[in-house]
Amino acid sequence: MPERTNAEWLADLRGPENQQAITDLRVVLIRGLSYSLSTRLRGDIDTLVEDFAQEALLKILNNLDTFRGESKLTTWAQKIAVRVAYSELRRKRWQDISIQDLYPEDSGIDYTPAVLTDPGANPEMSVTQRNILEMVLRLIQEKLTEKQRQAMIIVMSGGLPLEEAARQMGTNRNALYKLIHDARKRLKEEIEAEGLSADDLLAAFGSI
C-alpha cells in the first residue's frame, strides 16, 4: 500500500478513480478494528470486522468534508470505524430485548419496580418512601399517555438504551427526549397537586 499524505488521501478518495484508495483505506480499517475488537469479542470476528469496516467506509466517504487535518486521515478514519463498531455492538446487544421485557412478569400492564414486588429488596425502606413511590407509579399509570408511560419505564429501568428504545417505539432519540421531558413535567404537576413537592421527594428518598 502506498504511503499517502492527508492531501493525497483526500484527492484519491474524492477522485473519479477512487476504488484503489477505498480498497487501501478498507485494509487500514480492518486492521485497526481487528486489533480494537480482539480484546472485547471472542471467536471468529472476521465477518463482524468486515461489516463494520464497510459501514464505516460509507460514513467516512460521506463526511470527508469534516476532516480538519489535525491528525492523519487514517487515524481519523479508524476512530470513526471504532465508534461505528461499538455502536453496532450495543445495538445488537439490545435488539432482542423489547420495552415489554422491562415489565415484571406478574405485573400485567403496570410497571412495578422490584423494590415494591420483592419485600426483601430493601428492608430499610420506610412506609413513607413506599407510599410516595406507589403514588408516583399510580400517577404514571393514570395521568400519562401510553407513549409517556413507556418513556418513563425506560428511565426507571435504567437498562434499555435510548436509541434502541426509540427504534422500538417508532420514533427518534430527540422525540423520545421530548416525551420524557413532557412526562416528567406532567408528573411534577400531578405530584404537586397531591400536596407534595420535589423537596418532599428528595427528603423521603435521600437515604436510598
Q: What is the mean pLDDT of the chain?
A: 76
Q: Where in the chain is the domain with CATH 1.10.1740.10?
A: 6-94
Q: How do residues 85-115 score in pLDDT, each as one tens digit?
A: 887 776 665 554 444 444 444 444 444 444 4
From first CA to last CA, the distance across the chain in angstroms is 59
Q: Express each pLDDT in 44-85 by its tens digit.
A: 778 888 989 999 999 999 999 999 998 999 999 999 999 888
Per the structure block, which three cell numbers stand in for 111? 410497571
Give percent above pLDDT 70 in the chain. Answer: 69
What is the spatial distance between Cα 61 and Cα 25, in angstroms, rounded to a whole number? 10
CATH architecture of 6-94: Orthogonal Bundle (1.10)
Say how far apart CA 33 and CA 139 lie, in whole Å: 48
Interval 22-41 mean pLDDT: 88
Q: What is the dihedral of CA 112, 116, 118, 120, to 10 degrees?
A: 160
- Give the closest residue to 37 by CA, choosing from 29, 25, 49, 28: 49
CATH topology of domain 99-205: Arc Repressor Mutant, subunit A (1.10.10)
DSSP 8-state symbol, 136: H
- Measured CA to CA, the distance from residue 85 to residue 71 in angstroms comes to 21
156, 144 contact by CB (below 8 A): no
Residues of the chain with CATH 1.10.10.10: 99-205
Write the DSSP string, 6-54: HHHHHHHHHSTT-HHHHHHHHHHHHHHHHHHHHTT--S--HHHHHHHHH
Q: Is 147 helix (H, G, I), strand (E, B) or coil?
A: helix
Convert 104-115 to b/e letters by CB count within 10 Å (16 or more is b).
eeeeeeebbeee
